[in-house]
Amino acid sequence: MKPQLLSLLRQALDQVLAGTGVAAPDTIAVDATKDSRHGDFATNLALTLAKALGKPPRKVAEELVRALPPSPVVSKVEIAGPGFINFFLAPTAFQALVAEILDRGVEFGRNNAGAGRKAMVEFVSANPTGPLHVGHGRGAAVGDCLARLLQATGWEVCREFYYNDAGAQIGNLAISVQARCRGVEPGQHGWPEDGYRGEYIKDVAKSYLAGEKVHADDREVTAAADPDNLDAIREFAVAYLRREQDLDLKAFAVHFDVYYLESSLYREGKVEQTVQDLVKSGHTFEQDGALWLRTTGFGDDKDRVMRKSEGGYTYFLPDVAYHVNKWQRGFTRVINEQGADHHSTITRVRAGLQALGIGIPQGWPEYVLHQMVTVMRGGEEVKISKRAGSYVTLRDLIDEVGRDATRYFLVARKSDSQLVFDIDLARSQTNDNPVYYIQYAHARVASVMRQLAERGMEWDLAAGKAALEKLTDASELALIAQLARYPELVADAAEQLEPHQVAQYLRELAAAFHGFYNTQQVLVEDAGLRNARLALALATQQVLRNGLDLLGVSAPEKM
């Protein structure tokens, strides 16, 4: 519908601008209205042209409306306020959409905007030092939904998990497991000062001493069972906790195509090569025995140390080397989904990439940062997990409320907003629980189809499409209007990297369906009207299913 309105406005614009010397704008804003009393779509085109034409906006709006060619899609056009143009669509325009949804099925809402281009979404990227916490869970939900949205808009998507397998935190992990192997408990003499205290460390030590073999998605290790072999303990502990993370992610319906190790950047000489290339670029300098990059020349608030005076590289350097590697792998679009504590790295990484002068565009890579999650139960904050010892794990949430509710709740708010995860609400089977409310709408349609068979009534797809003109009630048209929003919603959510838009839309669509269902009897005796309403119900079910799939949430047939 929106492309048809844009076509009408372009034709009117050509006529209004003829002989004025004013160029037509590259884009025209046409948006769905929030209040049906103001039409179905509106444009501010007249307001944007008024200054260039030297006329009041309302006068320009009048000229545009007079120049609009007639269209069966539009039933009425009104001018509102200072010059907004409101379009009221004809019922037939909405009714045809129902047939389109039924014809396209799972493809409805998808587009090919990114066809032929590669995108990478890097997310979770947790160091293997313990179970995934709730923050990792939010990152997993948002990152996976971003990947699904990009795939729905034609991109070839790679999901990547990057982690440090050899840094100081891994060293602390190894000595923590070693202490447990030797029977030392947290707080006892000999326990490492920065040791990990969770019960999971005891599980790792027990498995190591038993000589077990562990298989993670990116490695397989057999325990040496020697409590004095710290290197063997480190290797086994990393593999053990990587496996645990894999199991958590599989329970969350999240998979990765690539696991990338920070250690490989050093082993393959990529960090050193990046240093040499930056020195050749002329943007480095030495001061106080350290090697610096002049990142202030690329928008940073201060220059950054690359190589410390005592030797060794700062974290900034491998980050730049890693993103050079991403660029070399041919990814047009790279999105890093990370916690808000990574905010300070954005400018310096981009500055390092720009300093190399290898054609990487400004603003590459893109970042989606998520804020903290507060978990509540019974009106009180839940802070610890028996397994992890000091934080709530992703698996805790999945065990408490299930995968569907966990995924939906973690993605339902904009990523840069703090999120309160109410366990009691997520477990409730009431309309206040958005997951239940949306899934119930989908299951309700399945229930109607079962009732249809039980009553010996018939459903005919062709007859339903042919009778769509019978859908004239306000609740029916309001529901179709919500269905009409879906394709643009998917496109915008993918472009803006905002999967929460899908979550919010599905709740609004479910509300429109429940409103229709509660006011209109579907299984009526009139076969034409019955088939038309069944067509509308099935179209709604299809869009609900398509949208839930973008969130990684199931669409049950029964509740």
Per-residue pLDDT tens over the stretch 334-346: 999 999 988 889 9
* Residue from 539, 441, 438, 446 nearest 486 by CA: 539
Residue 387 pLDDT exceeds 80: no
Question: Which residue reads 């790792």 in tokens?
Answer: 204
Burial state string for 315-330 with b = 16 or more CB within 10 A and e = fewer than 16: ebbbbbbbbbbbbeee
Residue 35 pLDDT exceeds 90: no
Q: Are residues 468 and 420 in the same domain?
A: no
What local confidence, expressed as pLDDT, does residue 556 receive? 98
Q: Going by C-beta distance under 8 Å and a sequence separation of 6 or more, which residues neighbour residue 6? A: 28, 30
What local confidence, expressed as pLDDT, does residue 511 receive? 98
What local confidence, expressed as pLDDT, does residue 37 receive? 85
**pTM of the complete model:** 0.91
Which contacts of 146-149 are long-range, i.e. CB under 8 A and separated by 24 or more positions? 146/121, 146/335, 146/337, 146/368, 146/497, 146/499, 147/121, 148/499, 148/549, 148/550, 148/551, 148/552, 149/490, 149/493, 149/494, 149/497, 149/499, 149/502, 149/550
Q: Are residues 486 and 515 in the same domain?
A: yes
Band of residue 211 on the pLDDT scale cut at 50, 70, 90? very high
Helices (DSSP H) in 29-182: which residue ranges?
45-53, 57-67, 91-104, 134-152, 168-181
Tokens at 303, concatenated: 């220059």
**Cα gap 352→97, rounded to integer Å:** 49
Q: What is the mean pLDDT of residues 84-111?
A: 92
Q: Final residue of a domain: which of 54, 71, 89?
A: 89
What local confidence, expressed as pLDDT, does residue 32 receive? 84
Instruction: Please state the domain count of the chain.
Output: 3
Give a yes or no: residue 72 inside a domain. yes
Q: What is the mean pLDDT of residues 277-284?
A: 96
Band of residue 155 on the pLDDT scale cut at 50, 70, 90? very high
Q: Are residues 19 and 63 in the same domain?
A: yes
Helices (H) and strands (E) in the chain, counts: 20, 17
Give a yes or no: residue 522 inside a domain. yes
Q: Final residue of a domain: which of 55, 71, 89?
A: 89
Q: Are residues 521 and 455 in the same domain?
A: yes
* Residue from 480, 497, 487, 492 nearest 538 by CA: 480
**Cα gap 52→21, rounded to integer Å:** 9
Tokens at 23, concatenated: 């160029």
Residue 388 pLDDT exceeds 80: no
Give a yes or no: residue 515 inside a domain. yes
Q: What is the mean pLDDT of residues 496-506?
A: 98
**Residue 470: enclosing H or E segment and its boundaries?**
none
**Cα gap 328→346, rounded to integer Å:** 19
Give a yes or no: residue 437 inside a domain. yes
What local confidence, expressed as pLDDT, does residue 92 receive? 82
Q: Are residues 440 and 482 in the same domain?
A: yes
Q: Final residue of a domain: which of 22, 54, 89?
A: 89
Residue 385 pLDDT exceeds 80: no
Residue 166 pLDDT exceeds 90: no
Q: What is the mean pLDDT of residues 286-314?
A: 93
**Residue 239: enclosing H or E segment and its boundaries?**
helix 230-251
Q: Going by C-beta distance under 8 Å and a sequence separation of 6 or more, which residues neighbour residue 274? A: 317, 320, 321, 324, 352, 356
Residue 100 class from Cβ within 10 Å (0-12 exposed, 13-18 middle, 19+ buried)?
middle
Q: Are residues 384 and 451 in the same domain?
A: no
Give a yes or no: residue 61 inside a domain. yes
What local confidence, expressed as pLDDT, does residue 96 receive? 86
Q: What is the mean pLDDT of residues 31-42?
A: 87
**Cα gap 419→149, rounded to integer Å:** 22
Distances (CA, A) of 492 to 87, 400, 495: 21, 33, 5
The answer to whether 446 touches 452, Cβ cutoff 8 Å, is no
What local confidence, expressed as pLDDT, does residue 476 receive? 94
Give a yes or no: residue 115 inside a domain. no
What CATH number does residue 498 fall under? 1.10.730.10
- 3-state SS, residue 128: coil
Tokens at 240, concatenated: 């053990």
What CATH number does residue 9 fall under? 3.30.1360.70
Of 52-66, 80-94, 244-258, 530-544, the range with the lowest mean pLDDT is 80-94
What local confidence, expressed as pLDDT, does residue 311 receive? 87
What local confidence, expressed as pLDDT, does residue 390 receive? 80
Report the sign of the C-alpha dihedral through residues 207, 208, 213, 217, in that order: positive
The answer to whether 1 touches 41, Cβ cutoff 8 Å, is yes
Helices (DSSP H) in 105-133: which residue ranges?
none
Q: Are residues 13 and 70 in the same domain?
A: yes
Give a yes or no: residue 141 inside a domain. no
Report which residue type is found at 458. Answer: E
Q: What is the mean pLDDT of residues 475-495?
A: 94
Q: Are residues 484 and 392 in the same domain?
A: no
Q: Are residues 487 and 387 in the same domain?
A: no
Question: Which residue reads 């587009």 in tokens?
Answer: 111
Q: Going by C-beta distance under 8 Å and a sequence separation of 6 or more, which residues neighbour residue 396? A: 134, 385, 387
Residue 33 pLDDT exceeds 90: no
Other CB atoms within 10 A of residue 537 CB: 24
What local confidence, expressed as pLDDT, does residue 50 receive? 95
Give a yes or no: residue 279 inside a domain. no
What local confidence, expressed as pLDDT, does residue 95 receive? 81
* Residue from 113, 407, 363, 86 nearest 248 by CA: 407
Q: What is the mean pLDDT of residues 78-98?
A: 90
Q: Are residues 488 and 381 in the same domain?
A: no
* Distance from the Cα of residue 113 to its chain's centroid: 17
Of 110-114, 305-309, 310-314, 533-537, the range with the lowest mean pLDDT is 310-314
**Residue-range definition of the domain harbouring residue 419:** 374-427
**Cα gap 475→517, rounded to integer Å:** 9
Rounded to the nearest integer, the mean pLDDT of the chain is 95
Q: Are residues 437 and 546 in the same domain?
A: yes
Residue 191 class from Cβ within 10 Å (0-12 exposed, 13-18 middle, 19+ buried)?
middle
Band of residue 312 on the pLDDT scale cut at 50, 70, 90? confident
Question: Which is it for strands 41-43 and 84-89: parallel, antiparallel or unpaired?
Answer: antiparallel
Q: Are residues 462 and 384 in the same domain?
A: no
Radius of gyration of the chain (CA): 29
- Could you give the count of Cα atoms lying within 13 Å of 115 in the half-sphere of its Cβ? 4
Q: What is the mean pLDDT of residues 94-101?
A: 90
